[in-house]
Structure 1
Amino acid sequence: MVRNHRWRCHRLHSFYSELFGWKIDANNEMQYGLAAAEDAGIGGGIGPDAEGGPGYVTFYIDVDDINAYTVKVEQLGGKIIMPPTELSDFNMTFAQFADPEGHVIGLTQSTRQ
């Protein structure tokens, strides 16, 4: 499970739902958005936390077209931190982006034939 806590979590629910097609259920008292593993490929959640918390987690999501996702990130208000970069020794391409709240997330795409 990957957790991503911020006060303006409803904006992040919308961002990740639109970016990856996740169905995020935040119908609870804390407005904690849950993405089921079968929808997201990973189980996870996005919820509120106290303002000023220093912690963060960077997680990577495997996608089928990393270039298309980096374009979509920017269209949805995110920022590319590291453009798609091939790591031939690992048979993969990876990229990093910041979501609209500044959380850094990674993308990976296999380059194996």
Structure 2
Amino acid sequence: MGNPIAWFDLTSKNAGVSRSFYSEVFGWKIDVDPDMGYGMVDTGSSEGIPGGIGENPEAAPALVVYLVVDDAEETLKQIEANGGQRDVPPYEIPGIGTMATFKDPDGITVGLWQR
């Protein structure tokens, strides 16, 4: 099956500005969950991958893609054995799946998505 990209996550220092920018430039509709402070992106197309825009004023802005894997924990073990580093350990999003992140040998953050 390979490991397709399942999701993108854009983290901004000011999510309101980022959401407005992407909405205006690309016509995205963004539905913000006020409890999470996270905006789910609807690109208006069946092409491409889904994603969201969140905020973390303390962190550097980032764009992370999430790769589909069968087992996040086992994949993290392979990543560590090949020079990568575990970043965020697997955590469940109830009823949806499991997420984790790692840093590749260059320090680039990449996500894992286990359905």
TM-score (norm 2): 0.46
Instruction: Name the structure with the higher helix share.
Output: 1
